[in-house]
Structure 1
């Protein structure tokens, strides 16, 4: 997982200022990715004094500027695929009700876990150069990969793909990232699958809940996945 975390850090840094948009165009997957990038990093630059005084302020920025454009519920379902499949076959009403409650709780803690993870990664933003794929017609596709390349002087280029999904309102939101061919969701699903099978979903929920409450750490202070 160490190599993947490094790639993930690079993937998140792809969200660099590239537009002057004041409003997010949710009907265009390519514009959405670039405009959310601009909005998030302008906020980080604007709030530098608050961030220096209190690193936890980065979580506020992530929740307000980035989270609305991440389909964390769909991402949660993807990570919990095997559990949800089993839950659908449960016949006992009480047991099924509990399974549904567990899924809802997981979505809540997974959202908070993503906020903490992204907040920590954003401490490493240092004006990397980013090349975005040119926008093109996607037809009737409901899932699109927005391809980007990160260029950092003295380091190899990193190819990143942002998976975005169109919802029932025809709005696009990101739900996964592919760094050097590695899917964030696939990696997280693989990481949690064994724990879920051996320890159960309540253990996994508690585990992610604890990770989501860890303090934001700047680069060089150590860190947590």
Structure 2
């Protein structure tokens, strides 16, 4: 399971637009995913020489091309669900302010952590292909799962569901994906929940910050997990 998530986390980078590409249609979740996937494959292939020369270029690609189409703030709130609930019930003004500041810090660090993590697994890209299920009517839905199949020659197909949500501006952005029936975001929430409860949010922030600063390494070289 960990290997599957590690692999598909890299493929989550397919949700990233190329800087000079045509404008992505954010009003349709299915079109958004298909457009950015197609454009990102081209960007990855185009930048292979830069990646080979400097692995840190992967972080640049992720930060510049992926983040505009990932709702990392919403994902952060999901991971911090229990902490946020407690923060809402705090009555002391100073304590409440500190809790809110911690949440803001976590969101910033979680963003950097995602950049570093995805940059690490991004090294696994070797021209895999993605097949999309037919688009469905989404009407007034605010959350849609765009189902895809990852095909890698000589390996079993992997079914992936990209979860995208409509924000207050009626634009769709990705915030999670499902592999083998398990949410990647829920898995990360479970991983950090115990640390958050036992060590506190400051410790979690420091932990993620340290991981986000690790250099990018290709898989098999002791790269980031």
Match of 1:57 in 2: 57
**Partner-residue secondary structure (3-state), 2:52:** helix
Kindly tell me: are residues 75 and 5 of structure 1, through their superposed partners in 2, closer, same or farther at Cα, counting changes over 3 Å? farther
Q: 1:93 to 1:146 in 2, by over 3 A?
A: same
SS at match of 1:130: strand
Change beyond 3 A, Cα 1:16–1:68: closer
CA distance in structure 1 between the partners assigned to 2:203 and 2:73 by the alignment: 19
Structure 1 residues 11 and 102, CA, compared in 2 at 3 Å: closer, same or farther?
Answer: closer
Q: Cα gap change, 1:133/1:154 in structure 2, threshold over 3 Å: closer, same or farther? A: same
**Residue deviations 1:152-201 (CA, integer Å, cap 9, x gap):** 12211111000000001100000001011111111011000010000000
Native 8 Å contact 2:15 2:174 kept in 1: no
Say which SS state the counterpart of residue 13 (structure 1) adopts. Answer: helix
Whole-angstrom CA distance in 1 between matches of 2:15 and 2:219: 18
The match for 1:139 is 139
Q: CA deviation at 1:16?
A: 8.9
Residue number in structure 2 paired with 1:221: 221
TM-score of the superposed pair, with normalisation by structure 2: 0.93
Q: Distance in 2 between matches of 1:5 and 1:105?
A: 30
Task: Kindly indicate whether the alpha-carbon contact (under 8 Å) linking 2:9 and 2:121 is maintained by their aligned counterparts in 1.
Answer: no
CA–CA distance in structure 2, aligned partners of residues 70 and 211 of structure 1:
20
Please give the secondary structure, in 2, of the residue aligned with 1:174: strand
Q: Is the 8 A contact 1:13 1:122 kept in 2?
A: yes
Residues 1:4 and 2:2 are matched in the alignment: yes
**Higher mean C-alpha deviation, range 124-133 or range 8-17:** 8-17
Preserved CA contact (<8 Å) 2:148 2:160 = yes
Residue number in structure 2 paired with 1:204:
204
Partner of 1:87: 87
Q: Which ranges of 4 or more aligned residues in structure 1 deviate by more than 3 Å?
A: none
1:47-72 deviation per Cα after TM superposition (whole angstroms, max 9, x unaligned): 22221111001111111111100000
2:77 aligned residue: 77
> Deviation string for 1:56-111 (max 9, x for gaps)?
01111111111100000000000000000000000000000000000000000000
Runs of 5+ unmatched residues, structure 2: none
**Partner residue, 1:191:** 191
Question: How many positions carry a matched residue from both structures?
Answer: 220
The aligned counterpart of 1:170 is: 170
Provide the C-alpha distance between the structure 2 equivalents of 1:60 and 1:145, rounded to a whole number of angstroms: 28
- Note closer, same or farther for the CA distance 1:208–1:16 as it changes in structure 2 (3 Å cut): closer
Q: Tell me, in whole angstroms, the C-alpha distance in 2 between the residues paired with 1:123 and 1:34.
A: 21
Q: Secondary structure in 2 aligned to 1:161?
A: strand
Aligned residue runs from structure 1 range 104-115, under 5 A: 104-115=104-115
